[in-house]
Copies of this chain bind each other. A is one copy, B any other.
Amino acid sequence: MNNRHYKNLYDEYLKKVENKLDCIVKDKQPESLYAPFHYLITGGGKRIRPVLTMICTGAVGGNPEDALDCGVAIELLHNFTLVHDDIMDRSPLRRNRQTVHEKWNEASAILTGDVMVGFAYKLLPTSKQHSRSDEIYKVFTRGLIEVCEGQAYDMDFNEQKDVTLDDYLNMIDKKTAKILETSAMIGGHIGNGSEEEINSLQDYANCLGIAFQAQDDLLDLTAEQAELGKKIGQDLFEGKKTFLIIKAIEKAKDEYDKILLNDFLNNNGLKDENQLPEMVTLFTKLNVFDDAISFADTYFEKAKNSTAKLKVNQYTQMLHWLIDTLNKRKK
């Protein structure tokens, strides 16, 4: 199979996901709750999590279509985290559109996320529908808990000056990688994969998630604004401890460079626009952009190796294609 084939398959699954998302709460009452819900989940995006769920079902020999509902459940879980994180981070934009708390208000954004969790659980199979329903619920609930823990660590880091690369890894493991693991593992269960297969899929997704987050940190500064869908440097203005900033703090020796980084730490983020180009210059000088790229590459490579024990079929091949595609992403 060639790349075009996998791209077509991805788009086919994506379309099914979009169609399903579009009708989940359409025209439901109360409007104050379901209009922001519908707005949020129909804002586009790569839909990696639900598509990954479907691919992983195929990877263990199941029918990817059977995983559509679970995939959509995970996409809802992901959107629940986005809408609540955006309140906490006071982010005004997401995917080139106003965030829910900006377009409506904070109460709507809280409730929209809350009810979304209910709709997500509603989509998981009952024990009459699938013999692995217990495992699926367990993995899903663990995903919900860990993604909250990850966000809590991320918020803690805003106040913390001495965040190490290990702390960062622990945080993104929970905040970003766990939900991809949830996708992969649930996909594996839907396809009735063996324990060994599900472990492989979990490792794959974990590494993919870590690479993905490091890329996200990088794209915060290197993407085109229109493609990124939010302000360039937003992470730095919010005082986020990204891979780049942690690595820069680790590597900076020059006193003048340290002043800029200490300013960032003491003010919990960049305090004005003209600090942004200074920071970019510093990152370039310290080579941390390249560090992020090779860090991501290492994890993409690990992800690829994690699939070694899976049977070779078009879906396990598609997992490799997905790595290469994400590795080249510009947003």
Contact = CB atoms under 8 A, between A and B. Distances in A.
Given A152-B33, A153-B30, A156-B30, A145 B110 contact: no
Interface in A104-160: 106-108, 110-111, 113-115, 117-119, 121-122, 126-128, 133-134, 137-138, 141-142, 144-145, 148-149, 151-153, 155-156
Interface string A56-91: 000000000000000000000000100010011000
A32 interface: yes
A128 B134 contact: yes
B137 A30 contact: no
Interface in A151-190: 151-153, 155-156
A119 B145 contact: yes
Most buried by B among A88, A133, A148: A148
A152 B114 CA distance: 11
Contacts of A33: 148-149, 152
Contacts of A119: 145
Interface string A285-327: 0000000000000000000000000000000000000000000
Interface residues of A, number: 38
Nearest to A33: B152
Contact of A152 (B30, B118, B142): B30
Nearest to A28: B149
B114 A141 contact: no
Contacts of A118: 141-142, 144-145, 148
Looking at chain A's contact residues, the main secondary structure is helix
Contacts of A152: 30, 32-33, 108, 111, 115
Interface in A20-42: 30, 32-33
Contacts of A111: 84, 88, 148, 151-152, 155
A84 B108 CA distance: 11
B115 A88 contact: no
B149 A30 contact: yes
A148 B88 contact: no
Contacts of A134: 126-128, 133
Contacts of A80: 114
Given A115-B152, A137-B137, 20 more contacts: A30-B149, A30-B156, A32-B152, A33-B152, A84-B110, A87-B110, A88-B107, A88-B111, A108-B155, A111-B151, A113-B114, A114-B144, A114-B148, A115-B144, A118-B141, A118-B145, A119-B145, A121-B137, A121-B144, A126-B137
Q: Which 4 A-B pairs have the closest CB atoms?
A: A127-B127, A115-B148, A33-B152, A118-B145
